[in-house]
A and B are shown apart, each in its own frame.
Chain A
């Protein structure tokens, strides 16, 4: 579903991502772990077609992101860590805007908005302007908009930050359902317990370079993911 091959992205002289290769198959929930500034957001933004990169290739469902950005974007959803949405729109106007851009049929979008907004308990607030939403409500609205066009690949940057426990639980369920239907999820997180319980596979990145990746069992063995992460970080510092 997502093939990142030898991805390199530099900002000036600094290599934010250095020769990163990762393959994410349909049905997989793939966690992306690393310290602050390790290159997680840059990788996710490159996959979403937001950031142009210097070398390598990114393919989404076989589509080259650089060569066919529009086709690639049609099958993915990207949810950033800080959902800066359009404050001048109401929640429902925002969802309709996203549905229009992705060409979601009228009847289909109405049913999906109803179902997703009810699940996140946001229905009553949909007529409110987004400027009146709390951070968590914006996060929920961004989640609904991400699922609205039923993308094949969902890219999420720290999706659990700001969500209340109920919404976080619902999100985990939705992630599983999405992957059960053949979709894939690639997300970054600092919450290692969540990654340990939720992910099929995990990749650890440091200073733009991949330290390790694989199934959860391959990466952590009998230890906890937290212990493995800290150990790997230290060993690469030495």
Chain B
């Protein structure tokens, strides 16, 4: 009963952040919720389809060579990787850093029930990630190898019951370890960013090499079969999925139960101590120093930048475009010699005249992934009273947020533009577009982020990650900018042979600037009123 109530609270918190049912905004209309659901389904479907095509490539050869065991082991490893990476930081935040831990622990509730309710939510997250990989994997396999009920039930039990539980157990224990480490590190923000970037680097390397690996695997699966054959649990997993081997299924279930039990006992016993522990970082002694007195505008900007730097989830979720832009530029320099011949190959030749425009749109796409302003109003949270009671205007506050966005996003984008011009040496009008268009896109995402966050603020979050990750403003800003960038693609497809690339780029630049002007007008009129009324 109590567990049900606790789980309901967790779900309500998730629901309120998704549907906007909080004090700061009117409840979303059914149409808005439906729109958001469609957007989420689209994203989910897109990734699921991509993985389906991958598994479809593999299922035939693996089935023909009677290597179903290896196929399912590979699918399970991929699903596990996505679940684990996707939930490890949430595990840290949800289990040990929720602001209602003290409140719940003061109630006549067993600490284990609090922990279990949070782990159940993590399990739901794991299942969603799992569905993206395991669903397409099963579909592709049964299409290639034929359907059998026993095999289907066993593979369902393995991939949708046991595997998410294994991931839950391991992400919980790693969340615990991350919490312990971060409590002892002075610069937690930096550590989390570095760790997350390391995860991302591994992820991007895996994604970029996926095609090669899959092609090699489809051609010759024996090296993988040898590698996996040496790991007993993976073999049991494969056997259970392919042949409905109940003995293997039982062994795997026992192993999962033992792992869960072991980790549960360890986490449950230490939960109160860990969740209530104060940071053991040595206290910094205050030494009076001379300070610069700055203008209110500068002070507001400094405050925004300090907030940004102090929140790893803010950096990682909102500034990925900025992190990726210089990497893309360096990649462009390294791959320049191999990129051009590739484009001249038969079938790709028609793309050569469009190459500068496509690369420019790629740059703009990266700008659209920098959504620093989109959660910035939500992040004020319960401290919003300060900005409202201090002698600063809403315009000053919004301007400081926009300036932060520009300061973070513009320099890397401009560096990329300069590298772009130096490498491809486009015509002068196109070079002007290369300099201005990504910068205009940065300005557009900044303004759109403020616009969206004023319309969909979430000030009642439990931890900052929730405000950054589940806010509707972030998703809408990102997808709306990407949608805008689809326009020139459509122009290329339908009128590419009639309109020169430079005209398409210039047209997009004018459109983006016009939209920026409209957004700014809204922000300094109705936007200011909305901010006052928050």
Q: Which residues of A contact B (CB under 8 A)?
A: 45, 48-50, 52, 69-71, 73-74, 78, 80, 82, 84-93, 96-106, 109-110, 114, 123-128, 132
Stretch at the interface among B59-67, B268-276, B297-305, B444-452: B297-305
Question: Contact between A50 and B388 (Cβ–Cβ < 8 Å)?
Answer: yes
Interface size class of chain B, counting residues whose CB lies under 8 Å from the partner chain: 35 or more
**Residues in A whose Cβ lies below 8 Å from that of B381:** 84
The 4 closest A-B pairs by CB, nearest first: A100-B299, A88-B310, A73-B391, A84-B382
Q: Which residues of B contact A98 (CB under 8 A)?
A: 390
Of the candidates B284, B296, B300, which one forms a contact with A127 in the assembled complex, judged by CB atoms under 8 Å apart? B284
Nearest B-chain residue to A91, judged by Cβ: B286
The answer to whether A127 and B306 touch across the interface, beta carbons within 8 angstroms, is no
Q: How far is the CA of A161 from the CA of B248 in the complex (A)?
A: 62
Q: What are the residues of chain B within 8 A of A128 when measuring CB–CB? A: 283-284, 286
Does B222 make an interface contact (CB < 8 A)? no
With A and B bound together, what is the CA distance between A97 and B299 in angstroms? 6
Closest B residue to A98 using CB positions: B390
Q: What does the 1/0 interface line of B74-96 toward A look like (CB < 8 Å)?
A: 00000000000000000000000
Interface residues in B359-391 by Cβ distance below 8 A to A read 381-383, 385-386, 388-391
Assuming the contacts A84-B382, A127-B285, asked whether A74 and B293 have C-beta atoms less than 8 A apart, the reply is no
For B533, the chain A residues whose CB sits under 8 A away are 52
Q: A125 CA to B287 CA in the complex, in Å?
A: 10
Known: A101-B391, A126-B286. A86 touches B296 (CB 8 A): no
B8 at the interface (CB under 8 A from A): no
| Residue pair B293, A105 in contact (C-beta under 8 Å) | yes
Instruction: Give chain B residues whose Cβ lies under 8 Å from the Cβ of A125.
Output: 283, 286
Known contacts being A73-B390, A101-B390, is A84 close to B286, with CB within 8 Å? no
Q: Can you list, as one digit per residue, whether each of B204-218 has a CB less than 8 Å from chain A (1) or not (0)?
A: 000000000000000
- In angstroms, Cα B303 to Cα A91, docked, is 13
The residue in chain A whose Cβ has the minimal distance to the Cβ of B296 is A101
B525 on the interface (CB 8 Å rule)?
A: no
Q: Which residues of B pack against A, CB within 8 Å?
A: 278-279, 283-288, 290-296, 298-300, 302-303, 306-307, 310-311, 381-383, 385-386, 388-393, 532-533
Residues of A within 8 A of B283 (CB): 125, 128
Q: Are A100 and B298 in contact (CB under 8 A)?
A: yes
B299 touches A132 (CB 8 A): no
The CA-CA distance from A21 to B115 in the complex, in Å, is: 51
With a cutoff of 8 Å between Cβ atoms, the chain B residues found around residue A49 in the complex are 388-389
Q: Complex Cα distance A96/B296, Å?
A: 11
Name the residue of chain A whose CB is nearest to the CB of B308. Answer: A88
**Are the CB atoms of A123 and B391 closer together than 8 Å?**
no
Q: Quick check: A80 and B285 within 8 Å, CB to CB?
A: no
Which residues of the partner chain A approach B299 to less than 8 Å between Cβ atoms? 96-97, 100-101
Instruction: Choose among B287, B293, B532 the residue that contacts A100 (Cβ–Cβ < 8 A).
Output: B293
- How far apart are A81's CB and chain B's nearest CB, in angstroms? 11
The verdict on A100 contacting B294 (CB below 8 Å), with A84-B381, A110-B288, A128-B283 known, is yes
Contacts of A110 in B (CB 8 A): 288, 290-291
Q: Are A97 and B293 in contact (CB under 8 A)?
A: no
Give B278's nearest chain A residue, CB to CB.
Answer: A132
B293 contacts across to A, CB distance below 8 A: 99-100, 103-106, 109
The interface residues of chain A lying within 8 Å CB-to-CB of B279 are: 132
Of A97, A99, A101, A127, which is within 8 A of B286 by CB?
Answer: A127
Q: In the complex, A24→B310 CA distance in Å? A: 42
A137–chain B nearest beta-carbon distance, Å: 13
B141 to chain A, nearest CB (A): 49
Tell me the complex Cα distance, A45–B385, Å. 9
